[in-house]
Amino acid sequence: MEIRPILSALMRSKVSMILIGLQVALTLAIVCNALFIIGQRLERMNRPSGMNETDTFWFGSTGFGQGYDAKAVQQSDLALLRQLPGVANATPSNSVPLSGGGWSTGLNLQPKQKTSTANTTIYIVDDHAIDTFATHLVAGRNFKREEVLPAEFGDRLQPSVIIVTKALADKMFPDGDALGKQIYMDEEPPTSTIVGIVDRLQQPWPESDTVEFATFVPAYMPYANSTRYLVRAEPGRRDEVMKTVEQKLIEANPSRIIGKLRTIEGTRKEAYAGDRAMAIILGVVIFALLAITALGIVGMASFWVAQRTKQIGTRRALGATKFDILRYFQTENFIITTMGLIAGGILAYAFSLWLMRNYQAPRLPWYYVPVGFVCLWLLGQLAVLGPALRASRVPPAVATRSV
């Protein structure tokens, strides 16, 4: 089929052609970048926290009244929790992954460093932490009970030993020899020795650039008469254990308030609520843009079929087959879509560059635009198929009718 007659016909409908081409261009640019953003959000939401999320929950306990001994209560609570039916293990912890609140500090290789070698969150725990979090040692050992020392809230932590995540160990010691090395917490001596490395544990802040940098610090340190506990239940018994824990702790010491018991699964859901909402909104935008673009193509093609009915009948009378008419409209749509896609491809990369400069977003991968080309070509061909089929069914007798 010759392209020149199609181009000549398009030049007589410049406004419609430009509007559809512009619509296709904007759809490609927005859809490609929106899909990339959705992919990033989903990837972040699916990152493993490094702990057993299914069976684990956490809560706070805050005492009141004169004579409330937070340190003694903490020890009695831990003993009680660990012997409850259905409890696999329990540990005190100032924070948990994805919770949104916690402590962080800088780790240095030399004293008085102006810039920390790495920033890490601190989980203040005891020797039951690794088993309670259900993270896994890949090198070294767990804390010994005698290494978990009492500390006062507000004091500077000076642990003699620490356990770090593999990501943090690799950052501090790229040669892979972190085990047994000494580091400085903040800028001042004394040093802390890395005695263990766990495979993974996230920070409380999912948006952090250093989300995989976490450190276990051994200490018993209630703060303001409050202690936060992390409890891992035996598989399948989490909900049952949660009901029992609250009841037993109140019975053991009524001079305190037990905070809301939160599952790690619920904590994850709350942490990524914004990402989930953005993914849903962008998904709706993508669907709406594709639907509007398809409807625009259908409307334009239907208008042109109605406008050219006599011409189509004349071509049929001169020997054009139904397939010739169908191919004509599909080729016409392909040309318009292609011109719009070329402009849209440039616009997509320009939009990505703008996001990079203003929001530190990653660069749009090159393959998004070619895939978008193919998808919108298919969408265009499917959208024009209905009007094109109607055009192919115009009988040759139409050519003899008066206008």
Nearest to 381 by CA among 279, 266, 301: 301
The predicted model gives 8-30 an average pLDDT of 82
pLDDT tens, residue by residue, 332-374: 888 889 999 999 999 999 999 998 888 888 899 999 999 999 9
The pLDDT tens digits for 232-245 are: 999 999 999 999 99
Distance from C-alpha of 153 to C-alpha of 5, rounded to nearest angstrom: 83
Q: Is the pLDDT of residue 158 over 70?
A: yes
pLDDT category of residue 195 using cuts at 50, 70 and 90? very high
Q: Cα torsion for 141, 145, 147, 151, to the nearest 10°?
A: 130
Give the residue-averaged pLDDT of 250-263.
92
Comparing C-alpha atoms, which of 25, 33, 34, 37 is closest to residue 346? 25
pTM: 0.83
Q: Which of 100-104, 193-197, 222-226 has the lowest mean pLDDT?
A: 222-226
Torsion of CA 265, 269, 272, 273, to 10 degrees: -170
Q: Of the segments 164-173, 186-195, 315-324, which one has the largest average pLDDT value?
A: 164-173
pLDDT given at position 219: 93
Q: Return mean pLDDT, the chain.
A: 90
pLDDT, tens digit, 9 for 90 and up, residues 77-92: 999 999 999 999 999 9
**For 40-60, what is the mean pLDDT?**
95
Per-residue model confidence (pLDDT) at position 309: 81
**Predicted local distance difference test score (pLDDT) of residue 1:** 53
pLDDT tier at 9, thresholds 50, 70, 90: low
Q: Is 194 left (phi over 0), alpha (psi -120 to 50) or beta?
A: beta
Sorting pLDDT into bands at 50, 70 and 90, what band is 391? Answer: confident
The one-letter code for the residue type at 334 is F
**Position 35 pLDDT exceeds 90:** yes
Specify burial of residue 376 (Cβ count, 10 A radius: 0-12, 13-18, 19+).
buried
Q: Residue 217 in contact with residue 120, Cβ under 8 Å? A: no
Per the DSSP assignment, residues forming a β-bridge with 92 are 229
Residue 400 scores a pLDDT above 70: no
The pLDDT of residue 177 is above 60: yes
Report how far residue 147's alpha carbon sits from residue 113's, in angstroms, rounded to the nearest whole number. Answer: 27
The predicted structure's pLDDT at residue 114: 81
